[in-house]
Amino acid sequence: MNRERLIEGIWERDPAVWTGSDEARWLGWLDEPLHIQEQLGEIVRFAETLREEVDDVVLCGMGGSSLAPEVLRRTFDVDWFHVLDTTHPRAIRALEEKLDLERTLFVSSSKSGTTLETRSHTDYFWEKTRKRGDRFAAITDPGSELEHLARERGFRAVFAGEPSIGGRYSALSLFGIVPAVLMGADASRLLERAQEMRETCRSGEGNPGYELGSRFGEGWRDGRDKICIAETPGGFGLWVEQLIAESTGKQGKGLVPAPGEWPDGAHRQAAEPDLPDPYALGAEFFRWEFAIAVAGAYLEINPFDQPDVQAAKDKTNEVLATGKEPELEPEGSVDELLAQAKDGDYFCIQAFVEPGGDAAAKLDPLIADIRRRSGLVVTHGYGPRYMHSTGQLHKGGPNTGLFLQVVDDQGDELPIPGKPFGFRRLIRAQAAGDFETLRERGRRVARVRMEDV
């Protein structure tokens, strides 16, 4: 398909651009920068009602509901806005200790409304706030379980998402814009920049979304499937790695996002986010969404489904259903994994540890050491967050990953109201479930303890 036909086909919502299946159902993101402007007044008025009552905002979300807000939070340097996307008991306790629960707004964000982590966070803080509905808001698709729960509990606000937009394409929808407004960012400026990029991405010549996506696609055809994304102060790569991995990693194919990796070398290509100022995020969110839709046409896959994500969730539920504490014993080693490396592989560290702090201090030298010893691209992510981000690529993409699971001491159990398990057992079940799913898919995996790193 030539340039003009490909661009025209995307804007005409033609599923034949990709696989001819249900792609047309998931293209609401093409128009969302226009539609969301119509709701902006309501969102701003809601934020204004909080001004005298709220000191902190906690967004409870995973994957597409948390990564764009986290990049916005970092880019605009907002220290009173917190993104909770871990089930680690120590991390949840540490966040709770920072908060005055009487003056905190909790935003439960889940398109499906059934995300286990988000519902668990919501129920936990619901009890901790003594069931104060005026301290909660929800962002979810219409008719979801979360919407019904929010109405039943009298949440302060419920924002209805657009069902024709998948989670990883939702940065410029309510799932990104409501958090942006709550942070105090000028969402109108973000959307104006997105609209300018949207118009530019309609053109046949000088189309920045097409140029980026076709470069990724051509590079993939040439065997350069590792996308080395330059670092930015706001951690843009954190958002875009889900967009790339979950959209393209399927049917044994895939682009491997590698934020912060050196782009020179075999199997690699460089990618440079264009972020001269914070509000350029609006344009970049749209440019990269369009680019990955274009790249999907080169790979001849459906960029909007995620056929392999559910497997690890099902395995987690199986582990939880046993009622037993999952064992997370060491299996294999870094050396044994590296001994299996082949040309074109990448190394992935899956850290089921308390995010930040001491963990980062230990993981960073580990990453550097593996990179030096192997010469491979090294990716990494915190569990269970990565399961909602790059997990699709790990299980459905090419069998070129060497996966090292790192686990720490989760501390004492932290009960989840209404559940027969707490956060400690949950994160251990997620680690065990994902490890077993990778092994069932024939992936090369090992597990080590944090204290042994």
Per DSSP, the residues of 129-166 read TTS-GGGEEEEE-TT-HHHHHHHHHT-SEEEE--TTS-
Cβ neighbours of residue 327 under 8 Å, at least 6 residues apart? 432
Going by the DSSP 8-state scheme, the letter that residue 378 receives in this structure is: E
What order do you get walking across the sheet with 136-140 strand by strand?
81-84, 56-60, 104-109, 136-140, 157-160
pLDDT at 267: 98
Going by the DSSP 8-state scheme, the letter that residue 402 receives in this structure is: E
pLDDT at 361: 85
pLDDT band at 138 (very low <50, low <70, confident <90, very high): very high
- Chain center to CA of 276: 23
Q: Is residue 87 part of a domain?
A: yes
| Same-domain pairing of 221 and 341 | no
Whether the per-residue pLDDT at 1 is higher than 90: the answer is: no
Task: Tell me the mean pLDDT in the region 279-286.
Answer: 98
Q: Over the stretch 414-438, which tens digit does the pLDDT of each residue have? A: 999 999 999 999 999 999 999 999 9
Q: Between 187-200 and 208-221, two packed helices, what is the crossing angle to 10 degrees?
A: 60
Q: Is residue 314 part of a domain?
A: yes
| Same-domain pairing of 376 and 407 | yes
| Same-domain pairing of 210 and 350 | no
pLDDT at 304: 98
Tell me what percent of the residues of the chain surpass a pLDDT of 70: 100
Q: Over the stretch 173-186, which tens digit does the pLDDT of each residue have? A: 999 999 999 999 99
pLDDT at 272: 97
Number of domains in the chain: 3
Q: Is residue 304 part of a domain?
A: no
Q: Over the stretch 156-179, which tens digit does the pLDDT of each residue have? A: 999 999 999 999 999 999 999 999
pLDDT at 356: 82
Domain boundary (147, 162, 185) is at 185
Enter the tokens of residue 61: 């979300």
Distance CA 129, CA 63 (A): 25
Q: Is residue 163 part of a domain?
A: yes
What's the length of the chain? 453
| Same-domain pairing of 291 and 338 | no
| Same-domain pairing of 349 and 437 | yes
Q: Over the stretch 362-382, which tens digit does the pLDDT of each residue have? A: 899 999 999 999 999 999 999
Q: State how beta strands 56-60 and 104-109 pair.
A: parallel
Burial (Cβ within 10 Å: 0-12, 13-18, ≥19) of residue 57: buried
| Same-domain pairing of 178 and 88 | yes
DSSP string, 229-265: EPP-TT-HHHHHHHHHHHHH--TT---EEEET----S
Task: Tell me the mean pLDDT in the region 290-307.
Answer: 98
Range of the domain at 55: 32-185
Burial of 261-283, coded b for 16+ CB within 10 Å and e otherwise, reads bebeeebbbebebebeebbbbbb
| Same-domain pairing of 226 and 322 | no
Quick count: other Cβ atoms within 10 Å of Cβ 205? 9
| Same-domain pairing of 414 and 354 | yes
| Same-domain pairing of 292 and 315 | no
Distance CA 297, CA 303 (A): 8
Q: State how beta strands 226-229 and 268-271 pair.
A: parallel
Tell me what percent of the residues of the chain surpass a pLDDT of 90: 98
Q: Is residue 12 part of a domain?
A: yes
Q: Is residue 258 part of a domain?
A: yes
Residue 348, SS3 per DSSP: strand
Task: Tell me the mean pLDDT in the region 26-44.
Answer: 96
Task: Tell me the mean pLDDT in the region 31-35.
Answer: 96
Whether the per-residue pLDDT at 44 is higher than 90: the answer is: yes
Domain boundary (185, 210, 242) is at 185
pLDDT at 358: 81
Q: Over the stretch 59-100, which tens digit does the pLDDT of each residue have? A: 999 999 999 999 999 999 999 999 999 999 999 999 999 999
Domain boundary (129, 164, 185) is at 185
Which CATH number does the domain housing residue 396 bear?
3.40.50.10490
Name the phi and psi angles at 133, rounded to 5: -60, -30
| Same-domain pairing of 7 and 59 | no
Whether the per-residue pLDDT at 357 is higher than 90: the answer is: no
Whether the per-residue pLDDT at 360 is higher than 80: the answer is: no
pLDDT band at 343 (very low <50, low <70, confident <90, very high): very high
Q: Is residue 265 part of a domain?
A: yes
Mean per-residue pLDDT of the chain: 97
